[in-house]
A and B are shown apart, each in its own frame.
Chain A
Amino acid sequence: MSDKPARAIKLNVINEPKENYKGGPSSLCPGCGHDQISNVIINAAWENGIEPHRIAKMSGIGCSSKTPAYYLGQSHGFNTVHGRMPSVTTGAYAINKDLLYLGVSGDGDSASIGIGQLIHAIRRNMDMVYIVENNGVYGLTKGQYSATADIGSKKKKGKANETQPIDLCALAINLGCTFVARSFSGSKKQLTSLIKAAMSHKGFALIDVISPCVTFNNNDESMRSYQYVKENEVTLHMADYIPHFEPVAEIEVPEGHFTDITLHDGSTIRLETISDSHDPSDSMAALTALHQAEVDKKHVTGLLYFDSSKPSLAEDLGLVSTPLLDVDASDLRPSEEMLKQMNSEFLGQ
Chain B
Amino acid sequence: MDTIVNDFTINIATANGTGSQSANLILLQSLFDMGVPVSGKNLFPSNISGLPTWYIVRLSDKGYQAPGDRTHVQVLVNKATWAEDLASLEPGSVVIWNTDSKMPMDRTDVFSYPVPMTKLARSLSPKLAKLVTNIVYVGVLAELLGITDEALHKAVAGQFKGKASAIELNITALELGRNHARENFTKGDPYLVEERPIEQDRFFFEGNEAVALGCIFGGVQLLAWYPITPSSSLAEGIIGWIPRLRTNDEGEATCAVIQAEDELAAAGMVLGAGWAGGRGMTATSGPGISLMQEFIGLAYFAEIPSVFWDVNRVGPSTGLPTRTQQSDLAMLYEGSHGDTQHIVIMPGTVEECFEFGWRAFDISERFQTPVFGLSDLDLGMNRWACEGFTYPDTPMDRGKTIREQDVFEAMENFGRYRDLDGDGIPYRTLPGSGMAPILYRGTGHNPDGVYSEKPDDYFNLMTRLKDKINGARDVLPAPILREEVEGDIGVVYFGSMENTIQEIDDMLEATGIKVSQCRVRSLPIHSEVEAFIRRHKTTIVLEINRDGQLWGILRRELPNDIVGQVHSVAYSDGMPPRARIYADLILETIKEANQ
CB-based nearest A residue for B154: A348
Task: Give the docked Cα–Cα distance between A346 and B202 (Å).
Answer: 9
User: Within the complex, which residue of B216, B253, B261 is in contact with A117, where a contact is CB–CB below 8 Å?
Assistant: B261
Of the candidates A98, A116, A334, the one having the most CB atoms from chain B within 10 angstroms of its own CB is A334
- Cβ of B126 within 8 Å of any chain A Cβ, yes or no, is no
Contact call B217/A339, Cβ cutoff below 8 A: yes
- Cβ of B438 within 8 Å of any chain A Cβ, yes or no, is yes
CB-based nearest A residue for B221: A324
Contact call B439/A92, Cβ cutoff below 8 A: no
Report chain A residues within 8 Å CB of B389: 339, 342-343
Report chain A residues within 8 Å CB of B269: 87-88, 90-91, 94
Given contacts A53-B433, A91-B269, contact A324 B441 (CB under 8 A): no
Contact call B432/A54, Cβ cutoff below 8 A: yes
Report chain B residues within 8 Å CB of A93: 272, 276
Contact call A53/B434, Cβ cutoff below 8 A: yes
Which of B55-63, B244-252, B469-477, B530-538 participates in binding chain A? Answer: B244-252
Q: Which of A144-200 contact B (CB under 8 A)?
A: none
Contact call B276/A318, Cβ cutoff below 8 A: no
Report chain A residues within 8 Å CB of B440: 76-79
CB-based nearest B residue for A335: B391
User: Within the complex, which residue of B216, B260, B431 is in contact with A76, where a contact is CB–CB below 8 Å?
Assistant: B431
CB-based nearest A residue for B257: A317
Contact call B245/A116, Cβ cutoff below 8 A: no
Contact call A347/B277, Cβ cutoff below 8 A: no
Of the candidates B217, B280, B439, the one having the most CB atoms from chain A within 10 angstroms of its own CB is B439
Task: Give the docked Cα–Cα distance between A331 and B386 (Å).
Answer: 27
B583 to chain A, nearest CB (A): 34
- Cβ of B254 within 8 Å of any chain A Cβ, yes or no, is yes
- Cβ of A75 within 8 Å of any chain B Cβ, yes or no, is yes
Contact call B431/A92, Cβ cutoff below 8 A: yes
Given contacts A69-B439, A77-B439, A79-B443, contact A325 B277 (CB under 8 A): yes
Given contacts A92-B276, A94-B278, contact A325 B430 (CB under 8 A): yes
Report chain B residues within 8 Å CB of A53: 432-434, 437
- Cβ of B140 within 8 Å of any chain A Cβ, yes or no, is no
Contact call B278/A77, Cβ cutoff below 8 A: no
Contact call B437/A91, Cβ cutoff below 8 A: no
- Cβ of A22 within 8 Å of any chain B Cβ, yes or no, is no
CB-based nearest A residue for B442: A81
Report chain A residues within 8 Å CB of B433: 53, 76
CB-based nearest B residue for A90: B269
Given contacts A53-B434, A95-B280, contact A333 B217 (CB under 8 A): yes
Report chain A residues within 8 Å CB of B256: 94-95, 317, 319, 324
Report chain A residues within 8 Å CB of B96: none
- Cβ of A135 within 8 Å of any chain B Cβ, yes or no, is no
Contact call A320/B248, Cβ cutoff below 8 A: yes
Report chain A residues within 8 Å CB of B396: 329, 332-333
B261 to chain A, nearest CB (A): 4
Report chain A residues within 8 Å CB of B253: 317-320
B564 to chain A, nearest CB (A): 42
Task: Give the docked Cα–Cα distance between A210 and B222 (Å).
Answer: 36
A261 to chain B, nearest CB (A): 28
Contact call A120/B278, Cβ cutoff below 8 A: no
Task: Give the docked Cα–Cα distance between A97 and B272 (Å).
Answer: 12
B436 to chain A, nearest CB (A): 9
Report chain A residues within 8 Å CB of B213: 342
Given contacts A94-B221, A94-B273, contact A336 B265 (CB under 8 A): no
Report chain B residues within 8 Å CB of A324: 221-222, 254-256, 278
Task: Give the docked Cα–Cα distance between A261 and B191 (Å).
Answer: 80
B235 to chain A, nearest CB (A): 15
Contact call B438/A76, Cβ cutoff below 8 A: yes
- Cβ of B205 within 8 Å of any chain A Cβ, yes or no, is yes
Interface string of A37-73 (1 = CB under 8 A from B): 0000000000000011110110000000000110001
Task: Give the docked Cα–Cα distance between A78 and B213 (Å).
Answer: 32
- Cβ of B300 within 8 Å of any chain A Cβ, yes or no, is no
Contact call B216/A94, Cβ cutoff below 8 A: no
Given contacts A94-B222, A117-B268, A320-B248, contact A73 B431 (CB under 8 A): no
CB-based nearest B residue for A84: B268
Task: Give the docked Cα–Cα distance between A338 and B389 (Å).
Answer: 11
User: Within the complex, which residue of B158, B252, B268, B298 is in contact with A320, where a contact is CB–CB below 8 Å?
Assistant: B252
- Cβ of A248 within 8 Å of any chain B Cβ, yes or no, is no
Contact call B432/A327, Cβ cutoff below 8 A: no
- Cβ of B45 within 8 Å of any chain A Cβ, yes or no, is no
Task: Give the docked Cα–Cα distance between A319 and B434 (Å).
Answer: 25
User: Within the complex, which residue of A74, A81, A338, A343 is in contact with B388, where a contact is CB–CB below 8 Å?
Assistant: A343
Of the candidates B217, B258, B276, B392, the one having the most CB atoms from chain A within 10 angstroms of its own CB is B276
Q: Which of A291-349 contact B (CB under 8 A)?
A: 317-321, 324-325, 327, 329, 331-334, 336, 338-340, 342-343, 346-348
Report chain B residues within 8 Å CB of A339: 217, 389, 391
Contact call B268/A88, Cβ cutoff below 8 A: yes
Task: Give the docked Cα–Cα distance between A124 and B260 (Å).
Answer: 10
User: Within the complex, which residue of A73, A317, A332 is in contact with B437, where a contact is CB–CB below 8 Å?
Assistant: A73
- Cβ of B367 within 8 Å of any chain A Cβ, yes or no, is no
Contact call B219/A84, Cβ cutoff below 8 A: no
Task: Give the docked Cα–Cα distance between A342 and B241 (Å).
Answer: 11
Contact call B439/A78, Cβ cutoff below 8 A: yes
Report chain A residues within 8 Å CB of B265: 84, 86-87, 90, 116-117, 120
- Cβ of A89 within 8 Å of any chain B Cβ, yes or no, is yes
Contact call B432/A79, Cβ cutoff below 8 A: no
A99 to chain B, nearest CB (A): 5
- Cβ of A232 within 8 Å of any chain B Cβ, yes or no, is no
B12 to chain A, nearest CB (A): 24
- Cβ of A80 within 8 Å of any chain B Cβ, yes or no, is yes
Report chain A residues within 8 Å CB of B431: 56, 75-76, 78, 92, 96, 99
Given contacts A84-B264, A332-B254, contact A91 B432 (CB under 8 A): no
Contact call B221/A95, Cβ cutoff below 8 A: yes
User: Within the complex, which residue of B221, B258, B277 is in contact with A332, where a contact is CB–CB below 8 Å?
Assistant: B221
Of the candidates B158, B219, B432, B442, the one having the most CB atoms from chain A within 10 angstroms of its own CB is B432
CB-based nearest A residue for B295: A81
Q: A87-B264, A96-B276 known; 12 other A-B pairs, CB under 8 Å? A: A76-B430, A84-B268, A84-B294, A90-B258, A91-B274, A94-B256, A94-B280, A117-B268, A319-B256, A320-B252, A324-B221, A333-B358
- Can you show 12 pairs from A to B with CB atoms below 8 A apart? A51-B434, A77-B438, A88-B269, A92-B431, A94-B280, A318-B252, A318-B253, A320-B248, A325-B278, A332-B254, A339-B391, A342-B389
9 shortest interchain CB distances as A-B pairs = A91-B272, A87-B268, A53-B434, A95-B278, A332-B219, A91-B269, A76-B431, A92-B272, A94-B256
